[in-house]
Amino acid sequence: MINSKLPGIGQSIFAVMTKMANDFSAINLSQGFPDFNCDEQLIELVRKYALQGFNQYAPMPGVLKLREAISQKTKRFYGFTADPDKHITVAAGATQALFTAITAIVERGDEVIIFEPAYDSYLPAILLSGGIPVPIELNENDFSYDWDLVKSKINSRTKLIIVNSPHNPSGYMFTENDMAQLCEIAENNDLLFISDEVYEHITFDGRKHLSFLSYPQLSAKSMVISSFGKTYHTTGWKMGYVIANEILTAEFRKVHQFNVFAVNTPIQYAYADFLADDIHPNALPGFYEKKRNYFIDELKGSAFDLTPASGTYFQLLDYTKIIKKDDFLFAETLVKDGGVSVIPLSPFYSQKGKSRYIRICFAKTEKILKTAAEKLREYSLKR
Ligand code: PMP
Ligand code: GLN
């Protein structure tokens, strides 16, 4: 017999809702991934390196050329100098990076502050390391942070704070005041941070992403995680990276080498070339802002309430005017009767019954966004 190490945890909501979308032939606005292809040149580069024979194990921390390219990009965007040898490790996507980082840092009995709604992979990783999650809820209207509350939760057992900006699922982005509060916390407490910055380049309305790497007080105590999947429309390639100081990187790599050892070689070489200029990341805000606005326009006249997301490719919809129902049940009936699959927010909370929102992903073609918005509008008015 086996004793479950994660007794309270079921299948990830992303797997559940994508399966439902397929089972009921619904439009899949649930799991976050683009329905359009990545740049052909990137595919050509992967092909080129695979044909040239770059098909065996990469070095454990990542292909040096790619770590150098990441270092230069990080310098250009955030003014941070990362040594490719000592500070950068390439991972099999942000999920693996997060799991490895949490495993490297958290010891039994350590408290870990997370902010809810929280991306679903943080909590199980903390539990598997014997850590004690300390969930703090974001303001339910605008998803802002109550820093006095955060400070009141910090004690001698607090080992780690995990943050995510731009935030999945709310789209909230850290402000200068948030960063000042975080710096103060870093200066006054003996703890570490994981900063999940996978949506660093998907920001709207002129807002700029504020990275932990731009603040010396924070970068000194953090593992900063990003993912190429979000920036280059390649979620299926599962590749990301971690930037941290020498001591944290060494501990990260101790776990990484037995967790995955190294990641896909030809794809690393391809990204190394592709990262040389910033054309693609610089185009993303405009590209996705257009999609966000298009979807919101198409949804006009529906009974959903919304505040446009500031970042990420997700939009929350408040459904309380439509029906008083648990959000999972609402998502379930919506996929079956309304023809659109969405993500209910309750799996992002440790206490049930907390959410009045569903999340949609607008990384889709306008044709799909139009049809989906029509279906959502009709469904919302029929109820
Ligand atoms: N963190 C957040 C906030 C995410 O939304 C995601 C995936 N959408 C990840 C981490 C995982 O990224 P990856 O697909 O690179 O594992
Ligand atoms: N991060 C993606 C989302 O939020 C899904 C990733 C996954 O399926 N694990 O939708």
Nearest to 54 by CA among 45, 39, 43, 97: 45
pLDDT in tens, 48-84: 999 999 999 999 999 999 999 999 999 999 999 999 9
Number of H-type helices and E-type strands within the chain: 14, 12
Q: Band of the pLDDT at 355, cuts 50, 70, 90?
A: confident
Asked whether 170 lines ligand 1 (CB < 6 A), one says no
Tell whether ligand 1 has an atom less than 6 A from the beta carbon of residue 117. no
Q: Alpha-carbon distance 285 to 159, whole Å?
A: 34
Q: What residue owns the CA closest to ligand 2's atom 3?
A: 32
The 8-class DSSP code of residue 58 comes to P
CA-CA-CA-CA dihedral for 93, 96, 98, 103, to nearest 10: -160
| Rounded distance from Cα 327 to ligand 2 centre (Å) | 18
pLDDT at 352 (0 to 100): 74
Boundaries of every domain in the chain:
13-31+281-382, 40-276
Which of the four pLDDT bands, split at 50, 70 and 90, describes residue 139?
very high
CB within 8 Å of 318: residues ≥ 6 apart: 304, 305, 306, 356, 357
CATH class, 40-276 region: alpha beta
Percent of the chain predicted with pLDDT > 70: 99
- Strand boundaries in 139-279, DSSP class E: 158-164, 192-196, 222-227, 240-244
The pLDDT assigned to 118 comes to 97
pLDDT digits (tens, 9 = 90+) for 34-56: 999 999 999 999 999 999 999 99
> Does residue 204 carry a pLDDT above 90?
yes
pTM of the model: 0.97
383: pLDDT strictly greater than 90 = no
Residue 353 predicted with pLDDT over 90:
no
The arithmetic mean of pLDDT across residues 185-213, rounded, is: 98
- 242-252 confidence digits (pLDDT tens): 999 999 999 99
Report cis status (omega within 30 of 0) of the bond before 166: yes
Residue 105's pLDDT is 98
Ligand 2, residue 31: give the atom nearest the CA. Answer: 10
Mutate to test the pocket of ligand 2, among 18, 31, 316 (most ligand atoms within 8 A of CB): 31
Q: Which of 11, 12, 13, 14 to mutate to test the pocket of ligand 2 (most atoms within 8 A of CB)?
A: 14
Nearest to 346 by CA among 365, 321, 367, 329: 329
pLDDT bin (cut points 50, 70, 90) of residue 140 is confident
Q: Ligand 2: distance of its center to the CA of 360 in Å?
A: 12
The amino acid that residue 156 corresponds to is: S
Ligand nearest to the CA of 238: 1
Q: Which atom of ligand 1 is nearest to the CA of 32?
A: 8
Interval 218-225 mean pLDDT: 98
Neighbours of 47 (CB within 10 A): 12
Q: Which CATH architecture has domain 13-31+281-382?
A: Alpha-Beta Complex (3.90)
Per-residue pLDDT of 147-163, as tens digits, reads 999 999 999 999 999 99
pLDDT at 235: 98
How many C-beta atoms surround the C-beta of residue 162 within 10 A? 26
* Index of the ligand 2 atom closest to the CA of residue 32: 10
Confidence class for position 25, pLDDT limits 50, 70, 90: very high
Does the pLDDT at position 292 exceed 80? Answer: yes
Q: How far apart are CA 305 and CA 179, in angstroms?
A: 29
Query: What percent of the chain has a predicted confidence (pLDDT) above 90?
Result: 95
Lowest mean pLDDT: which of 240-254, 294-308, 339-353, 361-375? Answer: 339-353
Going by pLDDT thresholds of 50, 70 and 90, the confidence category of residue 323 is: confident
* Ligand 2 atom index nearest CA of 14: 8
**In this structure, which ligand is nearest to the CA of 341?**
2
Pocket of ligand 2 contains residue 14 by CB under 6 Å: yes
Average pLDDT of the chain to the nearest whole number:
96
Q: Is the pLDDT of residue 97 over 80?
A: yes
